[in-house]
């Protein structure tokens, strides 16, 4: 495992484990235990995933010191305001059963996220959060945020995989020293990623699978990856990417798979903003 140093000096593992769409507590707790056992040291949850309690329970019972595990959670749109963020952070902290969070992210660039950011800056100053960041911010939203806040985000978590490479957005993140983190690094299984001939052929050169080639490609362009699986063998497979290196020809061949609009969610579409705003996580 390699680590990146964020723009505030905090070290973050280059690979972590995501738990989106694992709402059942027992399944989530078992998957996080399996991931920690396999060697993952970054767990990515969110208030909107309804599984912070299960993540906290797994982290507490795994026997690994809390400070060796990097836990991310996220603020949902419904709580995106100054007061909302202060309350939602306490709720997440309580559900996880921790006294601090490693990385707290604004989940979507929607509603009063500036108010939320001010609250997060205060929580960060109080050392309740080790790093603060955002998700799904386009280059233009990110530049605007950076122009108007005290603390520059440490991370921008966006959809990044071979079919959605976002090369230009990554260069803007680099300009602000914001670490890119890939959600959906396996394209959530779309575009036939697991049997894609280009990825399979490249993986086979190194005795690896298409999934491992796709994850390794993001790592080698400096992107943190957080693949999700509830299957132990896949959890292990996805972490087994630290003993090989793609060459420049492989990197270029994977770069050519970019579809430009290969995203699951079009964040520029009004319909996306409407359904995300309608997604309520509490009364």
**Residue 82 touching ligand NAP (CB under 6 A):** no
Quote the least distance from Cβ 10 to ligand NAP, whole Å. Answer: 19
**Residue 227 touching ligand NAP (CB under 6 A):** yes
Is 104 annotated in the active site? no
Q: Which region among 18-26, 93-101, 249-257, 274-282 touches ligand NAP (by CB under 6 A)?
A: 18-26
Q: Which region among 51-59, 111-119, 234-242, 253-261 touches ligand NAP (by CB under 6 A)?
A: 234-242
* CB within 8 Å of 181: residues ≥ 6 apart: 155, 156, 157, 158, 223, 224, 225, 226
**Residue 229 touching ligand NAP (CB under 6 A):** yes
Site for ligand NAP in 182-201 (CB under 6 A): 183-189, 194
Phi, psi of 235 (to 5 degrees): -60, -45
Which one, of 280, 221, 277, 224, lies nearest residue 254 by Cα?
221
Number of residues that bind ligand NAP (CB under 6 A): 26
CA-to-CA separations, 110 to 2, 12, 81, 230, 276, in angstroms, rounded:
33, 26, 10, 30, 9
Q: How would you classify residue 102: left for phi > 0, otherwise alpha for psi between -120 and 50, otherwise beta?
A: alpha
**Residue 179 touching ligand NAP (CB under 6 A):** no
Whole-number Å distance between alpha carbons of 206 and 220: 15
**Residue 172 touching ligand NAP (CB under 6 A):** no
| Cα 222 from chain centroid (whole Å) | 14
**Residue 52 touching ligand NAP (CB under 6 A):** no
CA-to-CA separations, 184 to 205, 215, 262, in angstroms, rounded:
24, 10, 11
Of the candidates 174, 201, 231, 245, which one interacts with ligand NAP according to CB under 6 A?
231
Q: Which is nearer to ligand NAP, 151 or 158 (CB)?
A: 158
Quote the least distance from Cβ 181 to ligand NAP, whole Å. Answer: 8
What angle do helix axes 210-220 and 232-239 make, rounded to 10 degrees?
40
Contact between 263 and 164 (Cβ < 8 Å): yes
Of the candidates 226, 239, 254, 276, which one interacts with ligand NAP according to CB under 6 A?
226
Contact between 179 and 4 (Cβ < 8 Å): yes
Which one, of 193, 180, 162, 159, lies nearest residue 259 by Cα?
162
Quote the least distance from Cβ 75 to ligand NAP, whole Å. Answer: 11
Quote the least distance from Cβ 85 to ligand NAP, whole Å. Answer: 16
Q: Which is nearer to ligand NAP, 5 or 21 (CB)?
A: 21
Q: Which is nearer to ligand NAP, 205 or 249 (CB)?
A: 205
**Residue 135 touching ligand NAP (CB under 6 A):** yes
Of the candidates 211, 219, 223, 241, which one interacts with ligand NAP according to CB under 6 A?
211
Q: What residues are annotated to the active site?
A: 49
Q: Which residues bind ligand NAP (CB under 6 A)?
A: 18-20, 44, 107, 135-136, 157, 183-189, 194, 211, 226-231, 234, 237-238
């Amino acid at each position: 495992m390699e680590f990146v140093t964020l723009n505030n000096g905090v070290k973050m593992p280059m690979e972590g484990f995501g738990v989106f769409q694992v709402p059942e507590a027992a399944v989530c707790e078992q998957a996080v235990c399996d991931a920690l056992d396999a060697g993952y040291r970054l767990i990515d949850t969110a208030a909107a995933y309804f599984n912070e309690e299960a993540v906290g329970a797994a982290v507490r019972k795994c026997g690994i010191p809390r400070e060796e595990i990097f836990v991310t959670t996220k603020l949902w749109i419904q709580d995106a305001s100054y007061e909302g963020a202060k309350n939602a952070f306490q709720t997440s902290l309580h559900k996880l059963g921790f006294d601090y969070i490693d990385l707290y992210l604004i989940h979507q660039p929607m509603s009063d996220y500036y108010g939320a950011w001010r609250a997060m800056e205060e929580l960060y100053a109080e050392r309740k959060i080790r790093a603060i960041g955002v998700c799904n911010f386009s280059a233009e939203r990110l530049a605007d945020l950076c122009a108007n806040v005290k603390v520059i985000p440490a991370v921008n978590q966006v959809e990044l995989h071979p079919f959605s490479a976002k090369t230009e957005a990554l260069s803007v993140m680099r300009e602000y020293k914001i670490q890119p983190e890939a959600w959906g690094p396996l394209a959530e299984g779309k575009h036939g990623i697991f049997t894609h001939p280009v990825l399979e052929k490249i993986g086979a050169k190194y005795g690896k699978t298409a999934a491992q080639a796709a994850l390794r490609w993001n790592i080698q362009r400096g992107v943190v990856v957080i693949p999700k699986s509830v299957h132990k063998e896949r959890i292990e497979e996805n972490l087994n990417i630290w003993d090989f290196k793609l060459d420049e020809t492989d990197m270029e061949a994977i770069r050519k798979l970019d579809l430009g609009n290969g995203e699951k969610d079009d964040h520029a579409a009004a319909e996306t903003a409407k359904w995300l705003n309608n997604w309520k996580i509490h009364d």
